[in-house]
């Protein structure tokens, strides 16, 4: 019983670790997954870094049509649920957006500092909250137009058995001012089969066999699906497909609402291994992985789809390291 209560707490407590992670997810997506995704808000410090390089690809710019790109994601989580995330895209091209003639910046960055807390009451109710200060731009924290606050309130109300109702309210001071309510029902048949369904998100985890697992997640317009094979307790092989859309608010833009957006869909094969066992009490643990994949339906645009630069599909590879202290 104690183990199952611990499992329920892990599945439903606020999350500080982001997938591949500190991906440049939209603010709304980040806030919603705070109350939904599996992960630990307790424990010691955690550091993760992920470097991705893309093969040069052609764009539809008739004058400078080649685009090279690399990406570095870093995340640090401290005790008491304080976290820092940073994402940087390096763009190697002189391509311009077709309608405005804007040359692509050499670099686009996203950084965020967040504090999250939660409390479990005697009646089983879990209350949580998260606030984050974020900047996403070609010039980080250049001014108030490139910096915004995100906030989330989270409530888990127990239902029949181990099931529960989930309620979220998220808000942001981004230029488009987002307020996102959420309600969902969490069904837990067992450790190997559970789901969370409700607008605007859905998650399902299933382990049909001892060494196999499947995960599907849809949050707003974002999706990801993965099939994982645990060949060994220290080696996992996964096939994943997902999409991504990241907004960056250029410091010298004419319209406050305009944002440079990078969007892609991708499929990748990932090999993860654990040089040290995952559970060694207070001892540090490490997780390393590398992946190779294919990015498609890629584009960069500002303001609207009429001002977009299409990017040909291409290969990419990623190396990453996570250390937990």
What would the mean pLDDT of 145-166 be, rounded to a whole number? 88
What would the mean pLDDT of 288-315 be, rounded to a whole number? 91
What is the model's pLDDT at position 73? Answer: 96
What would the mean pLDDT of 232-239 be, rounded to a whole number? 91
At 69, list the tokens.
């790109």
Average pLDDT, the chain: 82
Report d(CA 91, CA 69) in Å as an integer.
5
At 86, list the tokens.
């940073």
DSSP string, 270-297: EEEE-SS-S--TTS-EEEEEEEEEEEEE
Q: Comparing 33-47, 70-84, 146-160, 310-324, which segment has the lowest mean pLDDT?
A: 33-47
More confident residue, 224 or 16: 224
pLDDT tier for residue 81 given thresholds of 50, 70 and 90: confident
More confident residue, 200 or 314: 314
- Answer positive or negative: Cα dihedral of 246, 167, 201, 33: positive
- Calculated CA dihedral for residues 106, 263, 140, 253, nearest 10 degrees: 80
pLDDT tier for residue 201 given thresholds of 50, 70 and 90: confident
The end-to-end CA distance of the chain, in Å, is: 28
pLDDT tier for residue 283 given thresholds of 50, 70 and 90: low
State whether residue 252 is helix, strand or coil. coil
What would the mean pLDDT of 59-82 be, rounded to a whole number? 88
Number of H helices, E strands in the chain: 2, 17
What is the model's pLDDT at position 21? Answer: 26
More confident residue, 100 or 296: 296
Instruction: Report the alpha-carbon angle 208-209-215, nearest 5.
Output: 45
Instruction: Report the alpha-carbon angle 114-118-120, nearest 5.
Output: 170
The closest alpha carbon to 261, from 298, 296, 293, belongs to: 298
Q: Label residue 74 exposed, middle or buried (CB < 10 Å: 0-12, 13-18, 19+).
A: middle
Report d(CA 231, CA 195) in Å as an integer.
25
Is the pLDDT reported for residue 6 higher than 60?
no
Sheet strands (E) in 30-141: 46-58, 66-78, 82-92, 107-120, 126-137
State whether residue 139 is helix, strand or coil. coil
Question: How far from 225 is each of 46, 235, 251, 267, 312, CA to CA, in Å?
Answer: 25, 19, 35, 10, 23
What is the model's pLDDT at position 16? Answer: 25
Report d(CA 133, CA 204) in Å as an integer.
30
What is the model's pLDDT at position 23? Answer: 31
Q: Are 23 and 80 contacting, i.e. CB atoms less than 8 angstroms apart? A: no
The CB density around residue 294, as the number of other CB atoms within 10 Å, is 15
Q: Are 113 and 84 contacting, i.e. CB atoms less than 8 angstroms apart? A: yes
What is the model's pLDDT at position 1? Answer: 40
Question: How far from 147 is each of 109, 131, 139, 142, 212, CA to CA, in Å?
Answer: 12, 13, 10, 8, 42
The closest alpha carbon to 243, from 305, 297, 292, 205, belongs to: 297
What is the model's pLDDT at position 28? Answer: 41
What is the model's pLDDT at position 43? Answer: 54
């Amino acid at each position: 019983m104690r183990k199952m209560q611990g499992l329920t707490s892990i599945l439903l407590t606020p999350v500080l670790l982001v997938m591949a992670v500190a991906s440049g997810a939209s603010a709304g997506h980040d806030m919603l997954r705070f109350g939904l995704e599996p992960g630990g808000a307790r424990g010691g410090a955690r550091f993760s870094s992920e470097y991705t390089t893309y093969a040069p690809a052609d764009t539809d710019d008739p004058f400078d049509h080649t685009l090279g790109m690399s990406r570095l994601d870093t995340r640090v989580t401290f005790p008491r649920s304080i976290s820092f995330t940073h994402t940087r895209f390096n763009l190697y091209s002189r391509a311009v957006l077709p309608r405005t003639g804007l040359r692509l910046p050499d670099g686009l960055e996203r950084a965020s500092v967040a504090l999250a807390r939660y409390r479990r009451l005697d009646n089983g109710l879990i209350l949580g909250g998260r606030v984050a200060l974020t900047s996403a731009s070609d010039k980080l924290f250049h001014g108030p137009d490139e910096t915004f606050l995100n906030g989330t309130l989270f409530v888990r109300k127990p239902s029949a058995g181990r099931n529960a109702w989930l309620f979220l309210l998220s808000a942001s001071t981004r230029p488009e001012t987002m307020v996102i309510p959420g309600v969902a029902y969490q069904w837990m048949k067992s450790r190997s089969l559970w789901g969370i369904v409700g607008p605007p998100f859905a998650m399902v985890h299933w382990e049909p066999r001892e060494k196999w697992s499947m995960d599907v997640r849809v949050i707003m317009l974002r999706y990801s699906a993965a099939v994982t094979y645990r060949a060994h307790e220290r080696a996992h092989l996964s096939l994943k497909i997902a999409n991504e859309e990241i907004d960056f608010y250029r410091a010298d833009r004419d319209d406050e609402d305009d944002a440079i957006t990078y969007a892609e869909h991708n499929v990748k094969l990932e090999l993860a291994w654990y040089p040290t066992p995952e559970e060694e009490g207070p001892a540090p643990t490490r997780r390393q992985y590398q992946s190779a994949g294919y990015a498609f339906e890629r584009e960069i645009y500002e303001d609207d789809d009429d001002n977009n630069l299409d990017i040909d599909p291409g290969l990419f590879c990623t190396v990453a390291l996570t250390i937990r202290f």
